Chains A and B, each alone.
Chain A
């Protein structure tokens, strides 16, 4: 599945827009991590526990979004946006939404309608 945050993809054209797809998750770290983060706050620096929390949440939210897109029969999600919000102290929500579309290679309009883009670049889910 192709997941991008641009509206169009060079070399492909949007054959069909299927509609909005979304995924969200609210996660928390255990109290030990919260306490460790409190100490870290004294000296400054990266709060690794919370970075990890965001990474897991984003993966989960994207997975859910892509699952919805697959259900609609799309082969890509374009114009993906992320938004975060705090629910309580120490718990964060991550929300991902985009438009599920069917992409087709440019200049092959008459080919089979079920063109799965071959060997697409891997989505950004592992690019930390």
Chain B
């Protein structure tokens, strides 16, 4: 009986709740990403160790770091576990990862812009498993990204 109540609670409360809140927060995040990305246009972003198009008057390049951890919602976790049973591409988690990476890179670019640079190079990205999702199937799914890059100035001011 207790199990049944828990099952029904999950099915009719947590999953719809996760679906609605998850969609809302994802939309909100994507909107904010788009706004902030369009505010930072003309940045030349590369993962080269050399400095493409560096200007001779560029001030000393500086390393910058952007970190972010975001969580998925209950509905996507549930949908993901279904997909895991049948196999195939997990689009819900793909968009989660993409959002986290865009956020981490954006945090670097915003710092770079605030310091008066207009390009970054040697961009590196690392993932961390904070939620311990590999250890237990029941733990919450979170995504952590650490991005680092070197900021400098280009001659013409845009890529």
Residues of A bordering B, CB below 8 Å? 7, 14, 17-20, 22, 24-31, 33-34, 60, 78-79, 81, 83, 85-91, 93, 95, 97-99
- The reply to whether B137 and A7 form a contact with Cβ atoms under 8 Å apart is no
Which of B44, B49, B126, B134 has most A Cβ within 10 Å? B134
- The reply to whether B126 and A24 form a contact with Cβ atoms under 8 Å apart is no
> Do A88 and B94 form a contact, CB below 8 Å, given A17-B44, A28-B88?
no
The dominant DSSP class at the B interface is: mixed
Question: At the interface, yes or no: B2 with Cβ under 8 Å from chain A?
Answer: no
Cα–Cα, bound, A33→B98 (Å): 27
B side interface size, CB within 8 A: 38
Cα–Cα, bound, A27→B136 (Å): 18
Question: At the interface, yes or no: B127 with Cβ under 8 Å from chain A?
Answer: yes
- The reply to whether B88 and A27 form a contact with Cβ atoms under 8 Å apart is yes
- The reply to whether B87 and A28 form a contact with Cβ atoms under 8 Å apart is yes
> Do A83 and B125 form a contact, CB below 8 Å, given A88-B80, A90-B84?
yes
Cα–Cα, bound, A97→B101 (Å): 11
Chain A residues, Cβ within 8 Å of B24: none
19 contacts between A and B (CB under 8 A): A17-B44, A17-B53, A20-B123, A24-B101, A26-B94, A31-B85, A79-B46, A79-B47, A81-B47, A83-B125, A83-B126, A86-B134, A87-B143, A89-B133, A89-B136, A89-B137, A95-B125, A97-B47, A99-B48
